[in-house]
Amino acid sequence: MNLLLYFLTVLIWGTTWIAIKLQLGVVAIPVSIFYRFALAGLLLFAVLLLTRKLQKLDRRGHWLCVGQGLCLFCLNFLCFYSATQWIPSGLVSVVFSAATLWNAVNARLWFGTRISPRVMAAGALGFSGLVLLFWPELASQQPSHETLLGLGFALLGTFCFSTGNMLSSLQQRAGIRPLTGNAYSMLYGAAILLAGCVAAGLPFDFDPSPPYVGALLYLAVFGSVIGFTAYLTLVGRMGPARAAYCTVLFPVVALSVSTVAEGYRWTPFALAGLALVMLGNLLVFTKWSPFSRRAAVGRA
């Protein structure tokens, strides 16, 4: 079941980049994000009401959902959309892949969870693999004020994502199921975005073109309702550190889609990076270890 949820998350989030790209242009970024999570939250809320699976929350549960909505469905996306205005998307993906390490550290700080050497090694391998995958893009990036600004937004977005993971863990420990937690959190996140857009005086334009509408529906239903529910279920079942390895693998899926849709060309660096990412997956989801034979010899 964990592997199914994991690959479902990777497949969906690995294809959302194309949909996000189709949304850029007519509608302001914060407004597009508001449309996405308002629609996703309302759909999820309606389904839970119709199936009578919506849980009632106490005051603490609502505050946890407010916090998750702010971190995971508001600030996280605002930071990453802003980061892509200053630095290449490949560099943003590399920074975001550090969520595995962020989650391991935050789980230690929040819950006292021991940081597994296997998870840290997998995160380091995955991060190294992504650096190789995007090396041509990274090597051509010249240090500047804009670069530092973009990196700052990307790091802040990753921190917000990780904090949202911790709040989801608290929700599930309190007995709040991911579907209910997501429904409330998405609506709270959308409400915060709405207030911010109104305060900033942003126009609520809408692009009726098929690409924009199709991208909005895909991001709301698959990228948000299904993708985040699958991922946050993994957070509860596997722990934040192991679940966050999705963030390392889904850029690889994005590149595979880009090969067909945008003519991405694989280089020796990219292939070596893919091998390191796959090695990290072996460490996370199997008992295999490159040091197992040495350890067995030592015990003998």
Supply 76's token pair: 């996280």
Contacts of 149 (CB under 8 A, 6+ apart): 86
CA 252 – CA 271 distance, rounded (Å): 10
DSSP-based helix, strand, coil % in the chain, nearest 5: 80, 0, 20
Region of poorest pLDDT, from 124-138, 154-168, 268-282, 283-297: 283-297
Look at the pTM and tell me if it is higher than 0.85: no
Q: Is pLDDT above 50 for 296?
A: no
Cβ 125 vs Cβ 275: under 8 Å: no
Which DSSP category does 220 fall into?
I
Where b means 16+ CB within 10 Å and e means fewer, 51-82 reads eeebeebeeebeebbbbbbbbbbbbbbbbbbb
Q: What are phi and psi of 25, to 5 degrees?
A: 140, -95
Question: 107 vs 53, which has greater pLDDT?
Answer: 53
Question: 45 vs 117, which has greater pLDDT?
Answer: 45
Per-residue pLDDT of 51-76, as tens digits, reads: 999 999 999 999 999 999 999 999 99
Where b means 16+ CB within 10 Å and e means fewer, 9-36 reads bbebbbbbbebbebbeeebebbbbbbbb
Contacts of 62 (CB under 8 A, 6+ apart): 184
Cβ 154 vs Cβ 95: under 8 Å: yes
The chain-wide mean pLDDT, for the chain, equals 81
Which DSSP category does 262 fall into?
T
Query: Which range scores top for mean pLDDT: 73-87, 112-126, 268-282, 285-299?
Result: 73-87
Q: H or E segment at 259?
A: helix 246-261
Cβ 199 vs Cβ 82: under 8 Å: no
In 3D space, the residue among 10, 68, 32, 281 whose CA is nearest the CA of residue 188 turns out to be 68
> What are the residue boundaries of the structural domains of the chain, listed by start?
2-290
In 3D space, the residue among 286, 169, 288 whose CA is nearest the CA of residue 239 turns out to be 169
The number of residues in the chain equals 300
Cβ 99 vs Cβ 247: under 8 Å: yes
